[in-house]
Amino acid sequence: MKILYAFQGTGNGHASRALEIIPHLQRRGDVDVLVSGSQYEIGLPFDIKYKLHGLGFVFGKKGGIDLVNTLNSLNLKKVYQEIKTLPVKEYDLVINDFEPISAWACLFRNVPIISLSNQNALLNEKNSAYQKFRLERLIIKYYAPAKNKFGFHFKTHSSSTFLPIIRKEIRYRNTTNKGHYTVYLPSYSDEKIVKTLSSIKDIKWQVFSKKSKEHQFFHNITILPINDDAFIRSIASSKGVICGAGFATPTEALYLRKKLLVIPMKNQYEQQCNAITLKEMGVTVVKKLSKKQLPKIEKWINSNKIVEVHYPDVTEDMLDAIILPYYNKTILPEITIE
C-alpha cells in the first residue's frame, strides 16, 4: 500500500504518537509523512515529505490560547491552497492524527481516510459533562473531518476507543525520585509560574519553557528551555508532575507512576474534557495557576497518592485491525483450493 500519515504539529502529543505508529506502518507499505504546524520539540527519525502551515493555535501567557496571535497566524488563502494542491489521490489510504489539510483534501476528493486522535475519543464519549461544550465540540468535529474515526483516551468506554500509545523512551525508562517537581505549563508565562510557585518554599521546581532559550535560576526554581531528552529525564526522576490537561504528558506521567496535578487550559475543549476524566480517575485538577490555588497545590504536594494505570503495548495489533479492510488485494495472499 501507499500510505500518507498526517499529524498535527501543535504540541508534542501527536508527534510522540507518530514515533510509534509510523515504524509499524513502514513494515506494511510505502509511507509518506505530513505535518502541519511546527510547535513540537520531539525529534522525528524519519523524513517529512510535506511540511504545511495548516491550522494551529498559539499558546498564551495567562492559561489559555493567545487569540490575537492565533488569528494573525491564520492564513485562509494558504490553507485553501494547501488543501487544493495536496496530492492525496496518489495514496491508497490516509491516516490522520487531527490534521486538517489532509482531512479536508480527502473529503473533497473521496480518498479513504482513517482518523486516529485523542479528540475522537472526546466526541464519542457519552460523559454528559463533555456535552456542555457545544460550540467547541462542533469545531473539533469539523476541524479534521473523517468518516472512520478511532480515539485514544485515558480509559476506554467503547470499541472505537483505545488506551494511550506510550513511546519507547517512556515505556522502557527507569524511574527514580530525586525530590524535584517537573512543571510544563506552556500556556502560562515564565513570570507567572515563578511568581506563583516561588511561594511554596523548600520545593525544587524544574520548569520547562517554550519561551526561554537559556537556563534561568530563581531561588528554588529552575527554568529550562524545552528539550525532549531533558524533559523525559526530569519527569522520570521527579517526585511529581504539574502540567496542562493535554494528553501526552499526563499519560506519560501516569505510566511512570508519578504523582500528577493538571491545570487545563482555559476555553480549550480537549483539555477541559481530559480534566474531567482525570479527576474521575483520582488525579488532582486545579482550575488555574494562581495564589488562591496554592492551598490545593500544597495539599497535593503533601499527598503520596499515585493513580495506577495499565497501558499495555498493543499498537501493532490495533493498527492491523483498523487497516486490514484497506489493504490492496494484490498484496494479500491468494488461497487456492484444489
User: Residues 289-336: pLDDT tens digits?
Assistant: 999 999 999 999 999 999 999 999 999 999 998 888 877 555 544 444
Class for the domain spanning 2-165+313-326: alpha beta
Residues 97-139: tens digit of each pLDDT = 999 999 999 999 999 999 999 989 888 666 556 666 667 777 8
**Beta-ladder partners of 10:** 39
- Single-letter code of the amino acid located at 279: K
Q: Grid coordinates standing for 76?
A: 485562509
CB atoms within 10 A of CB 287: 13
* Cα–Cα distance, 54 to 323 (Å, whole number): 26
Q: Write out the residue limits of the CATH 3.40.50.2000 domain(s) in the chain.
A: 168-302
Class for the domain spanning 168-302: alpha beta
Residues 237-291: tens digit of each pLDDT = 999 999 999 999 999 999 999 999 999 988 788 898 899 999 999 999 999 999 9
CA atoms within 13 A on the CB side of 73: 18
Whole-angstrom CA distances from 63 to 77, 119, 187, 243, 265 are 30, 20, 5, 11, 5
Taking the model in full, what pTM does it have? 0.88
CB-based contacts of 66, cutoff 8 Å, min separation 6: 57, 58, 59, 60
* Cα–Cα distance, 264 to 245 (Å, whole number): 5
- Single-letter code of the amino acid located at 149: K
